[in-house]
Amino acid sequence: MGARLIRVSSRALGDRRRVIVRIYNTQAEMCEAGERFNGTDLSDSGGITQAYNDESGRTAVPVVRLARGHLGILIVSHEMHHAATAIYGSTVPDDVPASETLTHHNETFAHLYSDLLARVVASLYRFGYYD
């Protein structure tokens, strides 16, 4: 049996932004899939987030890879933070300094992250990964 596919999304940035989440039966399967994606040795990973650009070539579409036995809040929230950062970062113009967007005042980013995290956790419950 292959990895379970879960799609989560948020409209915190206006347009719907999506994240592809794949749940593998084992950590080894997850790491092998991550390595096939970009050729990097990921054998020690607890979770993996990779991304590609959408049809427009501008907005990142994160692929979050998780494995049974590694679905605690630390790993899931960590990987979803990477996913939210990839999406948000791909929408910020190149000439905007990070210091203007990476602050505790950035409600848009906070909503994007919390939307994505809440949706993936709800999906993990719905599919029986959590009791």
C-beta separation of 34 from 82 below 8 A: no
pLDDT tens, residue by residue, 94-104? 888 878 888 88
Q: CB burial class (10 A; 0-12, 13-18, 19+) of residue 8?
A: buried
Q: Which residues of the chain have pLDDT under 70?
A: 1
Q: How many residues does the chain have?
A: 131
Angle between helices 73-91 and 107-126 (to 10 degrees): 140
Q: What is the pTM of this model?
A: 0.93
Helices (H) and strands (E) in the chain, counts: 4, 4
